[in-house]
Amino acid sequence: MSGQSNYLPAGLPHNRALWPAEYQEKEQLDLAASRLIKQFRMQKIHRTAVLVAIEKTPADQQPFFRERLNYWQGVIKV
């Protein structure tokens, strides 16, 4: 798949249900991060909501979630 995110390996099928669970979880975290940053930029939520979302993320996935939050913070301009 051309143009896919840098955290996904090349050659994944288009059908996301066929992806390994690890990559499905990463995609869900990425989508959650983009939603949070968009809501934050639109002033629908406060910074504390983002911090709570980080705390609710499993400890082993928090670094990746923070990385995606930082990525989307630089990309989303509202």
Sign of the C-alpha dihedral, residues 33, 39, 41, 47? negative
Q: How far apart are CA 33 and CA 40, in angstroms?
A: 10
Per-residue pLDDT at 76: 84
Backbone φ and ψ of 37, nearest 5°: -65, -40
Q: Is 78 helix (H, G, I), strand (E, B) or coil?
A: coil
Per-residue pLDDT at 4: 54
Per-residue pLDDT at 1: 38
For the chain, the domains span 20-75
Please report, in tens digits, the pLDDT of each residue of the chain (78 residues total). Answer: 344 578 999 899 999 999 999 999 999 999 999 999 999 999 999 999 999 999 999 999 999 999 999 999 999 887
